[in-house]
Amino acid sequence: MNDYVILVDKEDNELGIANKIEAHTTKPQLHRAITILIFNEKNEVLITKRAKEKLLWPLIWETTCSTHPFKNENYEDCTRRRLKDELGIDVAAKVVDKIIYSSKDGDRGSENEVCALLVGKINQPIKINPSEVAEAKFIALNQLKKDIKKTPQEYAPWLALSLKSLERLNITQT
């Protein structure tokens, strides 16, 4: 298990490692992460509801998948590893942007990340790993944006940021 995160500066240069729990709770530190948006052939995005056992944002809808890379693991390999583990799929995705953000999840802890955003396409069934994902669904981007605006508390902060990044980059088709 990956019980550490890679500490980075705002340019995503590696500075060291830190305990994963501490980096999200008692000593929030800027660290490397990825978040992934996978689209189907209808150009709907796959979003997932985080498992109730998650430390931060449990039972909240997020991107297709999010995680922290291992040391010496590139973003694409990390993406494939986590998509296989969480959703039982093998999908190639490419980095389209990096997002720097911090957000607090009540008293549970916080995120403080340089987050690579990866995008890919799927044409295979998913198989949810219930220890990671409570639910998954495909949704049209326009509907998702409306839902986030209507009930933002039901969505992880990095999901809205990822959608804004796609919009800024004018990525409408995958």
Summarize pLDDT for 58-101 with one digit per residue, the tens: 999 999 999 999 999 999 999 999 999 999 999 999 999 999 99
**Cα three-residue angle 154-22-117, rounded to 5 degrees:** 50
Place of tokens 């985080």: 50
What tens digit of pLDDT does each residue of 107-129 get? 999 999 999 999 999 999 999 99
Does residue 174 lie in a domain region? no
SS (H, E, C) 118-141: EEEECCCCCCCCCCCEEEEEEECH
Q: Which helix (H) or strand (E) holds 50?
A: strand 45-50
The CATH number for 70's domain is: 3.90.79.10
Does residue 138 lie in a domain region? yes
Residue 87 has a CB neighbour count (10 Å cut-off) of 25
Global pTM?
0.94
Residue 71 structural domain: 4-168
Overall number of domains in the chain? 1
Does residue 173 lie in a domain region? no
C-alpha separations of 112 from 27, 128, 161 in Å: 10, 27, 14
